[in-house]
């Protein structure tokens, strides 16, 4: 393949001086943006590409971020302003990659072939398609929405599923498509517990009279200030926490949904009528990552995410020289974790390129 | 024809005679035992059927078509059909013609068992007659047919794919002895008859062979040993027959009339069950058919191996095989003998003793009812709300007034307990549901789950109430013009759920519905040969992980058609496929209808 | 012990050192998936029978781990084997096999 490509290159005219663009960052989510900004400040030329027509990834469509309820948009704006020197190509995908000497020849969907010394994969994650958990009735019942739908409503406020009804009780189902072997995702998504607590508080602020219920298997509130958030949800907002996973949702005659779960701490099945049910769809590996991984000959881990060289000291390194990872392409992560990893990946790339 | 051997006896017939008497005695005792093991009522019904002219004629026809012609194998694969029917029918004809020969030429010898078999040894051709040469020609002709069959059988051992089979059964030691002695019988007969053809006469096969042999064999010392060998091969085959898969030959002849009399498996090891597992020819067609065969570790859990273990009485393996099976019924659908793998397995499960027996005395469900149409969603549909809501909306569009029997969850239909071999517990639930349904005042019981449908149809006594599956009901509504849809360009592939297709024989109505909604394409394996989705409640021991490959293989059969959607009519199939189908949507047939109705209404 | 003139009621503390877990270990042999239960309660919530009988696969597993055989047996009697719990279990436990196994092994322990 590489030979063929080189031939084509030669035949297309006199060979230009190879112009090493240095580093390609795949994915302009928060990890990609942060890594690009760090690489720029280290003096590299950075090209940042994203499949989407906008930068910022999942965070761009989020409303507020835990634990300080920072505006998601301000984080993205900040990051974007720091990558002013990089080439940002949106709505762009990689068509093919070939190793060329110590670097890579990358054909982009725009038609151009560019050369990079290193590639950073910051491809992010997919949100679990909640309709796959059929028993929750997402897409069947209008009362059932996802965490992402709710953030969008917080942003835009025009979801008829929320606007068209009186919201008197709201349920949050944790672990939808996470920690679920049946759904093909045994991993914990890490962020849903705290997101549910955050969204529960926000819902309570919008609908102070509504009763809010969180149905959880285990509450995993591990991060800085998460526990404070939880205490506030209990104390200041009166949010109810039920330790039990929702197993069935059906429609009541009066336009509400009936949710069944077991109150495991009490050892009794419970059912409750809710006007809105929010499914905390989890973080899963991107379903389109496999072709790219094959093209780059990097491996996939058993959980469907990209395989790191090792999970303690080399999480940002792939098994191929010159290819690095940052953010949720290797597994569920919080925003601060993704950002920290992006910086670490930038240093890794810097060291790698210096050593060439 | 004149008699050549005085006294019409020679010691070489002894091996044959011993084998023959042994096998006849064994089968006779076996037949009587099996008949006696039937419950009294079944036995009476069976014996009565034997003297009813209509069933008698059917029995003869079925035995001829199945045991001799192997019609079912012909349908499966021409080569396989020819191989089996050439040996079975050819052999039958040789025995029959042998008897005719004796009756024609030496009628006083007909009472000697061995005489028609070794006719050519005992006679000398005095003068050639037309009658004689026709008989000789027919004998050679059928011998040739058998020899071709045997040659094909040998090829099949190496190239089973030519016979439409990927995998064949692994033979046990006795099976091998039976097989090789069977293979030896006919070439030996050819040799023996060829050697004596210049004395007894022969035809197009034996005469040239005789001439050929006489070119280098001048003495006649080799004649007797070949007849001995022929007789020994026959004797060995018949002596081992009861302990090999060839027992299926006599067993099937009893199985067919019993089945025609309506006898069913009632005991795990006695009577009809015993007859079924002895009727298994061990051909291994069920190995390829079994959905579990996608995993090598399950290859020895197909019905053919269950039958073998049942004959051997290997309890550990019997329990293992019985518990693993999905009870999809595909082995029965492809079995040329019609051995009911699922029923045999359920009977084994019923045998198990539990320390704890179910007790549903506290279970007192209520039913609201009120309408003529009562819809029972059932446990599985409660987990697929999309099916429930789609069906409700279809019924509303058609103006069907209905009430839901279990809006808040009812009790189970009893089929899962039945499959697990807990019949008494199932009966308790059946009785509870029956009372509810009869008390509701409905005249139609509508079901969206084939598992429920089958048990309500077959095991519930609901006089005056029509039990109907939603696919059939919607088809009727469409035909009556109560539902209006436009045919679109969507391409659907339909998956036949095991319980609805093989279980209840409903194949056409769902297809008619889909063909009215869009383009219907057929999967490679469909209808009676559709592949279980792997989610079946039939299997007790298969874990979630072990079902994955079964589901993927079954799904591939459907998605290979490149249809826009996989459509099924079972909530369990839908959930099971839905888990793994990332590219092709999996829909219930009610959802397709709901979608098409919406399109129609928006269009109008 | 000093006679107080009244008897102490038996302690409600489960002494994990003394719990008889033979039946649980036998269950694990027959259905190894039992070990992976996270006690989420999906099975109990969806159970067709629980409303009338108190059946709960979660409590069956926990009960056997804690040696509460009588409660377990009472629950097991209510099971209809409908398979809903198998469908919803996030750990993919073969709950029907688990229940049948639990119903079988009670005898072997000479209850």
Question: Which residues are registered as beta bridge partners of A309?
Answer: none
The SS3 assignment for B110 reads: coil
Task: Check if A19 contacts B (Cβ < 8 Å).
Answer: no
Task: Check if A269 contacts C (Cβ < 8 Å).
Answer: yes
Contact state of B379 with C48 under an 8 Å Cβ cutoff: yes
Instruction: Return the number of other C-beta atoms located less than 10 Å from residue B36's C-beta.
Output: 10
Instruction: Output the pLDDT for position A9.
Output: 42
- Domain containing B297 equals 264-349
The SS3 assignment for B503 reads: coil
What's the CA gap between A332 and A189, in Å, rounded?
5
Q: What is the DSSP letter of B14?
A: H
Which one of B383, B385, B391 would you mutate to disrupt binding with A, by most A Cβ within 10 Å of its Cβ? B385
Residue B259 is assigned to a structural domain of this protein = no
Give the B:C interface size as CB pairs under 8 Å.
101
Question: Which residues are registered as beta bridge partners of B596?
Answer: none
Task: Check if B578 contacts A (Cβ < 8 Å).
Answer: yes
Q: What is the DSSP letter of A180?
A: B
DSSP one-letter string for B473-485: HHHHHHHTTSS--
Residue of B nearest to A257 (CA): B385
Q: Provide φ and ψ at B205, rounded to 5°.
A: -100, -50
Same domain for B528 and B441:
no
β-strand pairing of A94-100 with A103-108: antiparallel
β-strand pairing of A240-243 with A211-216: parallel
3-state helix, strand, coil in chain A (%, to 5): 30, 30, 40
Number of domains into which chain B is organized: 4
Instruction: Output the pLDDT for position A198.
Output: 96
Considering only CB atoms, which chain B residues are within 8 Å of C87? 380, 383, 572, 575
Residue B454 is assigned to a structural domain of this protein = yes
Task: Check if B583 contacts A (Cβ < 8 Å).
Answer: no
Percentage with pLDDT > 70 across chain A: 94
Task: Check if C101 contacts B (Cβ < 8 Å).
Answer: no
Kindly report, residue by residue over A184-230, the tens digit of the pLDDT: 999 999 999 999 999 999 999 999 999 999 999 999 999 999 999 99
User: Are B485 and B396 spatial neighbours (Cβ–Cβ below 8 Å)?
Assistant: no
- Can you list the positions of beta strands (E) in B112-253? 123-124
Same domain for B279 and B298:
yes
Contact state of A250 with B388 under an 8 Å Cβ cutoff: yes
* Among candidates B364, B572, B575 on the partner chain, residue whose Cβ is nearest the Cβ of C52: B364
Percentage with pLDDT > 90 across chain A: 85
The SS3 assignment for B370 reads: coil
What sign does the CA torsion over B14, B17, B23, B28 have?
Answer: negative
Task: Check if B368 contacts A (Cβ < 8 Å).
Answer: no
Min Cα distance B313 → chain C (Å) is 22
Closest CA to B199 of B118, B114, B121, B98: B121
Task: Check if C91 contacts A (Cβ < 8 Å).
Answer: yes
State the Cα angle at A151 between A145 and A152, rounded to 5°: 85
Tell me the Ramachandran region of residue B414: left when phi exceeds 0, alpha when psi lies from -120 to 50, beta otherwise: left
Same domain for B182 and B72:
yes
- Containing A231, the helix (H) or strand (E) segment is helix A226-235
Task: Check if A135 contacts B (Cβ < 8 Å).
Answer: yes
A319 against B217, higher pLDDT: A319
Tokens 């024609």, residue located = B104
* Among candidates A135, A140, A181 on the partner chain, residue whose Cβ is nearest the Cβ of B544: A181
* Among candidates C48, C87, C97 on the partner chain, residue whose Cβ is nearest the Cβ of B409: C48
Please write down the long-range contacts of A198-202, taking CB distance under 8 Å and 24 or more positions apart.
A198/A64, A198/A66, A198/A67, A198/A69, A198/A229, A199/A147, A199/A150, A199/A151, A199/A172, A199/A278, A200/A170, A200/A172, A200/A233, A200/A237, A200/A239, A201/A229, A201/A232, A201/A233, A201/A237, A201/A239, A202/A63, A202/A64, A202/A154
Same domain for B268 and B227:
no
Task: Check if C46 contacts B (Cβ < 8 Å).
Answer: yes
Same domain for B136 and B214:
yes
Structure tokens that stand for B86 in this block: 């050439």
Same domain for B314 and B291:
yes
Min Cα distance B383 → chain A (Å) is 5
Kindly report, residue by residue over B202-231, the tens digit of the pLDDT: 889 999 999 898 888 877 788 899 999 999
Instruction: Output the pLDDT for position B219.
Output: 78
Task: Check if C88 contacts A (Cβ < 8 Å).
Answer: yes
Instruction: Output the pLDDT for position B158.
Output: 85
User: Which alpha helices (H) appear in A287-334, and where do they start and end?
Assistant: 289-295
Instruction: Output the pLDDT for position C8.
Output: 59
The SS3 assignment for B376 reads: strand
Residue B20 is assigned to a structural domain of this protein = yes
Instruction: Output the pLDDT for position B162.
Output: 84
What's the CA gap between C47 and C80, in Å, rounded?
9
Q: How far is CA A313 from CA A20, A34, A349, in A?
A: 29, 20, 15
The SS3 assignment for A226 reads: helix
What's the CA gap between B326 and A131, in Å, rounded?
27
User: Are B94 and B143 spatial neighbours (Cβ–Cβ below 8 Å)?
Assistant: yes
Contact state of C90 with A217 under an 8 Å Cβ cutoff: yes
Instruction: Output the pLDDT for position C6.
Output: 59
Same domain for B172 and B99:
yes
Instruction: Output the pLDDT for position A276.
Output: 97
Considering only CB atoms, which chain B residues are within 8 Å of A132? 578-579
Q: Taking the CA atoms of chain C, what radius of gyration do you get in angstroms?
A: 16
Identify the band that residue A17 occupies on the pLDDT scale cut at 50, 70 and 90. very low
Task: Check if A141 contacts B (Cβ < 8 Å).
Answer: yes
Contact state of B574 with A134 under an 8 Å Cβ cutoff: yes
Q: What is the DSSP letter of A28?
A: -
- What residues contact residue A176 under an 8 Å CB cut-off, 6+ apart? A128, A130, A133, A136, A146, A192, A279, A280, A281, A282
Contact state of C83 with B380 under an 8 Å Cβ cutoff: yes
Same domain for B461 and B432:
yes
Structure tokens that stand for A311 in this block: 């999970």
* Among candidates B382, B544, B575 on the partner chain, residue whose Cβ is nearest the Cβ of A250: B382
**Alpha-carbon torsion angle B510, B547, C85, B530, nearest 10:** 10
Same domain for B533 and B420:
no
Q: How far is CA A239 from CA A148, A162, B166, in A?
A: 20, 19, 61
Residue B60 is assigned to a structural domain of this protein = yes
Q: How far is CA B433 from CA B370, B405, B445, in A?
A: 16, 10, 12
Residue of A nearest to B392 (CA): A251
Q: Taking the CA atoms of chain B, what radius of gyration do you get in angstroms?
A: 30
The SS3 assignment for B508 reads: helix
Subunits with 3+ C-beta pairs closer than 8 A to A: B, C
CATH number of the domain bearing residue B533: 3.40.50.1860
The SS3 assignment for B188 reads: helix
| Full set of structural domains in chain C with CATH | 22-108 (1.10.1060.10)
What is the complex's ipTM, to 2 decimals? 0.89
Considering only CB atoms, which chain B residues are within 8 Å of C82? 379-380, 412, 416, 537
Which one of C56, C60, C90 would you mutate to disrupt binding with A, by most A Cβ within 10 Å of its Cβ? C90
Which one of A246, A269, A271 would you mutate to disrupt binding with C, by most C Cβ within 10 Å of its Cβ? A269
Same domain for B119 and B240:
yes
Whether the predicted pLDDT of A55 surpasses 50 = yes
Tell me the Ramachandran region of residue A137: left when phi exceeds 0, alpha when psi lies from -120 to 50, beta otherwise: left
* Among candidates B385, B388, B544 on the partner chain, residue whose Cβ is nearest the Cβ of A182: B544
Instruction: Return the number of other C-beta atoms located less than 10 Å from residue A219's C-beta.
Output: 17
DSSP one-letter string for B140-174: HHHHHHHHHHHHHHHHHHH-GGGGT-S--PPPPHH
Min Cα distance B598 → chain A (Å) is 14
Kindly report, residue by residue over C46-85, the tens digit of the pLDDT: 999 998 999 999 999 999 999 888 899 999 999 999 999 9
Instruction: Output the pLDDT for position B222.
Output: 84
Residue of C nearest to A174 (CA): C40
Structure tokens that stand for B199 in this block: 């004395």
Question: Which residues are registered as beta bridge partners of A94?
Answer: A108
What's the CA gap between A335 and A191, in Å, rounded?
9
What's the CA gap between A233 and A239, in Å, rounded?
6
CATH number of the domain bearing residue B407: 3.40.50
Considering only CB atoms, which chain C residues are within 8 Å of A244? 40-42, 45
Binding-face residues of A in 255-294 toward B, CB within 8 A: 258, 287
* Cα of A168 vs its chain's centroid, Å: 31
Residue B212 is assigned to a structural domain of this protein = yes
User: Which alpha helices (H) appear in C1-111, and where do they start and end?
Assistant: 22-30, 42-46, 50-53, 57-65, 69-76, 84-88, 95-108
Subunits with 3+ C-beta pairs closer than 8 A to C: A, B
C105 against B233, higher pLDDT: B233
Min Cα distance B382 → chain A (Å) is 7
Residue B355 is assigned to a structural domain of this protein = no
pTM of the model: 0.89
Residue B40 is assigned to a structural domain of this protein = yes
Residue B566 is assigned to a structural domain of this protein = yes
Task: Check if B18 contacts A (Cβ < 8 Å).
Answer: no
| Full set of structural domains in chain A with CATH | 7-124+286-355 (3.50.50.60), 130-283 (3.50.50.60)
Same domain for B25 and B88:
yes
What totals of helices (H) and strands (E) does chain B contain, helices first? Answer: 28, 10
* Among candidates C44, C58, C88 on the partner chain, residue whose Cβ is nearest the Cβ of A135: C88
User: Are C101 and C31 spatial neighbours (Cβ–Cβ below 8 Å)?
Assistant: yes
Whether the predicted pLDDT of A8 surpasses 60 = no
Same domain for B167 and B30:
yes
What's the CA gap between A300 and B174, in Å, rounded?
50
Identify the band that residue C2 occupies on the pLDDT scale cut at 50, 70 and 90. low
Structure tokens that stand for A203 in this block: 């819902």
Kindly report, residue by residue over B398-426, the tens digit of the pLDDT: 999 999 998 888 899 999 999 999 999 99
Tell me the Ramachandran region of residue A235: left when phi exceeds 0, alpha when psi lies from -120 to 50, beta otherwise: alpha
* Among candidates C46, C51, C92 on the partner chain, residue whose Cβ is nearest the Cβ of A248: C46
Q: Which residues of chain B have pLDDT under 50?
A: none
């Amino acid at each position: 393949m590489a030979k063929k490509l080189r031939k084509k290159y030669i035949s297309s005219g006199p060979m230009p001086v190879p112009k090493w663009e240095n580093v390609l960052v795949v994915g302009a989510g928060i990890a990609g943006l942060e890594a690009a900004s760090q690489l720029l400040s280290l003096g590299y030329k950075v090209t940042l590409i994203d499949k989407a027509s906008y930068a910022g990834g999942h965070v761009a469509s989020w409303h507020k971020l835990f634990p300080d309820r920072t505006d998601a948009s301000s984080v993205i704006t900040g990051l974007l302003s720091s990558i002013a020197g990089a080439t940002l190509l949106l709505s762009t995908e990689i068509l093919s990659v070939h190793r060329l000497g110590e670097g890579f020849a990358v054909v982009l969907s725009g038609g151009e072939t560019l050369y990079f010394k290193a590639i950073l994969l910051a491809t992010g994650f997919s949100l679990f398609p909640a309709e796959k958990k059929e028993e929750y009735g997402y897409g069947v019942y209008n009362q059932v929405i996802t965490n992402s739908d709710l953030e969008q409503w917080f942003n835009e406020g025009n979801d008829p599923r929320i606007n068209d009804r009186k919201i008197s009780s709201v349920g949050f189902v944790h672990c939808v498509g996470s920690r679920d072997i049946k759904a093909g995702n045994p991993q914990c998504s890490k962020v849903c517990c705290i997101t549910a607590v955050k969204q529960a508080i926000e819902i309570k602020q919008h609908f102070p009279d509504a009763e809010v219920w969180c149905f959880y298997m285990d509450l995993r509130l591990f991060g800085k200030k998460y526990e404070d958030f939880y205490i506030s949800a209990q104390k200041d907002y009166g949010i109810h926490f039920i330790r039990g996973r929702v197993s069935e949702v059906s429609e009541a005659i009066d336009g509400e949904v009936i949710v069944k779960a077991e109150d495991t701490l009490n050892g009794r099945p419970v059912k409750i009528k809710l006007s809105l049910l929010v499914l905390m769809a989890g973080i899963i590996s991107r379903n389109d990552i496999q072709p790219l991984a094959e093209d780059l000959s990097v491996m996939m881990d058993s959980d469907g995410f990209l395989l790191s060289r090792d999970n303690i000291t080399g999480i940002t390194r792939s098994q191929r020289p010159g290819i690095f990872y940052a953010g949720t392409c290797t597994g569920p992560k919080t925003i601060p974790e993704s950002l920290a990893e992006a910086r670490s990946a930038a240093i890794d790339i810097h060291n790698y390129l210096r050593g060439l | 024809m004149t008699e050549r051997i005085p006294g019409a006896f020679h010691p070489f017939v002894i091996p044959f005679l011993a084998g023959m008497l042994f096998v006849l005695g064994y089968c006779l005792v076996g037949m009587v035992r099996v008949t006696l093991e039937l419950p009294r009522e079944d036995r009476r019904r069976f014996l009565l059927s034997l003297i009813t002219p209509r069933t008698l004629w059917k029995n003869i026809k079925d035995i001829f078509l199945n045991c001799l012609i192997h019609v079912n194998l012909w349908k499966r694969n021409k080569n396989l059909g020819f191989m089996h029917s050439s040996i079975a029918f050819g052999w039958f004809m040789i025995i029959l013609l042998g008897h005719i020969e004796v009756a024609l030429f030496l009628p006083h010898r007909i009472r000697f068992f061995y005489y028609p078999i070794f006719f050519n040894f005992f006679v000398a051709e005095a003068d050639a007659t037309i009658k004689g040469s026709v008989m000789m020609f027919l004998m050679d002709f059928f011998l040739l047919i058998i020899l071709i069959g045997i040659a094909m059988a040998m090829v099949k051992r190496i190239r089973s794919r030519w016979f439409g089979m990927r995998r064949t059964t692994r033979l046990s030691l006795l099976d091998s002895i039976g097989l090789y002695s069977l293979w030896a019988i006919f070439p030996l007969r050819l040799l023996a008859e060829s050697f004596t053809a210049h004395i007894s006469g022969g035809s197009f096969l034996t005469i040239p062979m005789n001439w050929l042999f006489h070119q280098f064999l001048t003495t006649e010392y080799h004649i007797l040993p070949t007849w001995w060998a022929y007789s020994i091969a026959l004797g060995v085959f018949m002596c081992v027959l009861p302990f090999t898969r060839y027992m299926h030959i006599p067993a099937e002849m009893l199985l067919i009339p019993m089945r025609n009399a309506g006898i069913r498996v009632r005991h795990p090891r006695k009577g009809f069950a015993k007859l079924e597992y002895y009727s298994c020819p061990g051909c291994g067609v069920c190995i390829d058919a079994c959905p579990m065969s996608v995993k090598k570790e399950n290859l020895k859990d197909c019905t053919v191996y269950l039958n073998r273990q049942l004959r051997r009485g290997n309890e550990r393996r019997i329990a293992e095989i019985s518990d693993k099976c999905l009870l999809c019924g595909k082995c029965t659908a492809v079995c040329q003998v019609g051995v009911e793998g699922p029923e045999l397995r359920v009977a084994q499960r019923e045998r198990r003793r539990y320390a704890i027996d179910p007790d549903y005395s506290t279970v007192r469900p209520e039913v609201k009812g009120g309408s003529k149409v009562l819809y029972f969603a059932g446990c599985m549909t409660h987990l697929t709300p999309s099916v429930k809501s789609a069906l409700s909306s279809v019924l509303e569009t058609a103006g069907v007034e209905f009430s839901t029997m279990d809006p808040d969850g009812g009790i189970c239909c009893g089929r899962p307990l039945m499959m697990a071999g807990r019949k008494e517990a199932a009966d308790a639930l059946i009785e509870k549901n029956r009372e509810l349904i009869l008390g509701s005042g409905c005249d139609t019981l509508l079901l969206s789950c084939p598992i429920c449908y089958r048990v309500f149809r077959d095991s519930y006594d609901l006089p005056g109430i029509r039990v109907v599956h939603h696919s059939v009901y919607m088809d009727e509504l469409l035909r009556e013009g109560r539902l209006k849809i436009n045919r679109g360009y969507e391409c659907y592939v339909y998956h036949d759920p095991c319980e609805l297709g093989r279980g209840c024989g409903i194949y056409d109505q769902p297809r008619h519905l889909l063909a009215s909604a869009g383009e219907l394409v057929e999967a490679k394996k469909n209808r009676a040969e559709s592949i279980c989705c792997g989610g079946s409640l039939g299997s007790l021991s298969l874990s979630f992980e072990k079902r994955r490959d079964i589901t993927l293989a079954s799904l591939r059969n459907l998605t290979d058609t490149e249809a826009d959607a996989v459509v099924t009519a079972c909530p369990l199939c839908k959930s099971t496929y839905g888990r793994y189908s990332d590219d092709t949507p999996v829909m219930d047939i009610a959802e397709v209808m709901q979608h098409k109705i919406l399109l129609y209404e928006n269009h109008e | 012990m000093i006679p107080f003139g009244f008897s102490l009621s038996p302690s409600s503390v489960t002494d994990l050192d003394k719990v008889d877990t033979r039946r649980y270990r036998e269950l694990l042999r027959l259905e190894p998936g039992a070990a992976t239960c996270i006690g989420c309660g999906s099975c109990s919530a969806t159970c067709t029978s629980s409303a009338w009988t108190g059946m709960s696969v979660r409590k069956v597993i926990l009960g056997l781990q804690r040696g509460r055989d009588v409660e377990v047996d009472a629950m097991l009697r209510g099971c209809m084997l409908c398979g809903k719990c198998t469908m919803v279990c996030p750990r993919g436990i073969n709950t029907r096999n688990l229940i049948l196994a639990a119903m079988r092994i009670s005898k072997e322990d000479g209850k």
